Structure 1
Amino acid sequence: MTVGQGGLGMNGMRYALLLALLVGLSTCGGDKPDVTDESIQPPKAKVVEKVPVVKPMTVEERLAKLEQIKRSMKPHFVLGKGDVLSLSVYGEPDLTVKGIPVRPDGKVAFPLIGDVQVEGKTVDQVSKEVTRRLREYLRTPKVAIMVEQFNSLSYTIAGEVTKPGVYPLKGDVTLTQAFAMAGGLKQGSFRSTTVELADLTHTFLARNGKILPIDFERLLRQGDIRFDIKLAPGDYIYVPSGLSKQIYLLGEVTRPNLYAFKAGFTVSTALTKGEGFTPDADLSRVHVIRGSLDNPQLFILDMNKVLEGEETDMRLQPNDIVYVPPTYLTRWSRMLSKILPSLQMLQTGVQLTK
């Protein structure tokens, strides 16, 4: 009996995964699975309705969620090396100085009071410190500190853009401006034709460990400027390739990695490549994440029942993420917070090896 075109035999998959279980898998009961694929269903197997646990949002729902996230994520800028400040004290023109750089040691030299440590502090914190020290010389100093240049702030844009890298965040920079500064989407040659290499469906923006619900297709293809938000320090933009076909295997496996997609690739195929599981792995709730991370389809598969032939395996699609959660992690939002750092690390590794 076979599973899918070009896939492993059911017995072969069962033995391979049972061998992986002996490496140290500890499972417990979980939610009933939501996934099946009738085209690869073995005879007399139990059929489970294929329904995504998380369904894609509409455009308006994405915009509403984006506004909510923007309101909750108020920027908290701190000073760093290379920033340039100006100081003014009301009624004291001799103490007014412009173009004061933050030195490599994180300090700046102010008139009268000397060096002040500013790196890692907000402008308000530095103003209070300068005011406190000026009270030794002035009765009621009124201090104003301005940032002329925020050279220490940056964002990253990686993947299929002409000039990927880390860019300084000077002033307000929107998403479309970031793509323009990166030279636009990368193009290549395919069968003597110039083609765009970017996969905008799976492109994402991560901020403070969260994926923002931005529709890059509508923004860059249709000019929907409602998604053209301002960037914040530390933002990470990733544009995957539209030509490469990969499967991501993450979570409680021995070898989390990305693997070349092949016809007939199933969840079982992906798991055998992980070469075993950690003691915390929960095979009763293996997650398959399909589509963009900010607006995915989410499926859950009980691999214990697949091994017993009670349920069908699931055929994967290019760029699917297979995530094996630990037994103690149940909420999707918390799982995504675990997935994102691993995904960024793998993507950064791919960039470095190109």
Structure 2
Amino acid sequence: MAPAHSIAQKTSAGAAPGEAAPAEDNRYIIGPGDTLQVFIWRNPELSTTVPVRPDGKISTPLVEDMIAVGKTPSQLARDIEGVLGEYVRSPQVNIIVTQAVSTFSQVKVIGQVATPQSLPYREGMTVLDAVLAVGGLGPFAAGNRAKIVRMEAGGQQEIRVKLDDLVNRGAMKYNLALRPGDVLVVPESFF
């Protein structure tokens, strides 16, 4: 049996020592335009599928104008449970994002690539996945001066990526993981 102090001791991320901390940075954040399935266990008449309105709110039976933008599906489920608790005994709510279309769920690739565009983010997406999806580097790309622009709570962060080494030389150490909302910028080379 494990000593009591090792069970009670938790890291700030919520994982016990020796366990992997949850990947909070990659948690999905709900945005405007997303479509959500709101499932209330044992209450099918309250379960529904709703869009997130441009004002960032959703409305479901018994819950009007709940702010959804900026929350994870789990956070939104807990908030809905709090409101439904007035009407339903011990509500259990699950939120499933059925259509992710908000800018929070996209990765943008701009600059000297074959077809600059926004790509739908998916779990495990890397720089190489994004570059291949946009058709590769353009003929005038300065791939080794590329960068990922990432918005975080403390502001904007820039991460250098040597795309030319990654794509043309197979240097996989530059195949960095992307996050929803990232912008991959590929500048033009100097002549």
Provide the TM-score with structure 1 as the length reference.
0.41
1:115 equivalent to 2:69? Answer no
Unmatched segments (≥5 aa) in structure 1 = 1-70, 187-195, 246-354
- Whole-Å separation in 2 of the counterparts to 1:169 and 1:109: 25
- TM-superposed CA distance for 1:128, in Å, is 1.9
CA shift for structure 1 position 141: 0.6
Contact 2:57/2:69, CA 8 A, preserved across alignment: yes
Deviation at 1:206, TM superposition (A): 2.7
Q: Which has the higher contact order (CA 8 A, sep 6+)?
A: 1
Alignment match of 2:183 (pick from 220, 236, 239): 236
TM-score, reference length from structure 2: 0.72
Could you tell me whether the CA contact under 8 Å between 1:151 and 1:168 is conserved in 2? no
Q: Which amino acid aligns with 1:177?
A: D
Aligned residues: 163
Q: Deviations over 1:216-263 (max 9, x none)?
A: 233111234443233212322221223x34xxxxxxxxxxxxxxxxxx
Match of 1:84 among 35, 58, 64: 35
Provide the residue aligned with 2:112 in structure 1: 160
Judging changes above 3 Å, is the alpha-carbon distance between structure 1 residues 151 and 168 closer, same or farther for their aligned structure 2 residues?
Answer: farther
Choose between structure 1 and 2: higher helix proportion: 1
Say which one has the larger Rg.
1
Letter aligned with residue 132 of structure 1: G
Corresponding residue SS for 1:94:
coil
**Amino acid corresponding to residue 215 of structure 1 in structure 2:** K
CA 1:118–1:72: 2 relative to 1, 3 Å? closer
Question: 1:127 pairs with 65, 74, 77, which one?
Answer: 77
Once the 2 structures are TM-superposed, how far is the Cα of residue 214 of structure 1 from its aligned partner? 3.3
Tell whether 2:40 aligns with 1:93. Answer: no
In 2: Cα distance, 1:175 partner to 1:201 partner? 13
Structure 1 runs, 4 residues or longer, greater than 4 Å off:
none
Q: Does the CA-based 8 Å contact 1:151-1:170 persist in structure 2?
A: no
- Who is 1:75 aligned against? 26
Deviation of residue 112 (structure 1)?
3.0
**Percent sequence identity over aligned pairs:** 29
State the SS of the aligned residue for 1:128: helix
Task: For 1:75, give the aligned amino acid.
Answer: N
1:1-354 to structure 2, matched below 5 A, reads 74-75=25-26, 77-98=28-49, 100-152=50-102, 153=104, 154-165=106-117, 167-172=118-123, 173-186=125-138, 196-208=139-151, 209-242=156-189, 244-245=190-191
| 2:143 alignment partner AA | L
The 2-side partners of 1:239 and 1:114 are apart by 44
Q: Taking structure 1 as reference, are residues 79 and 198 closer, same or farther at Cα in structure 2, changes over 3 Å only?
A: same
The structure with the greater share of residues assigned to strand is 2
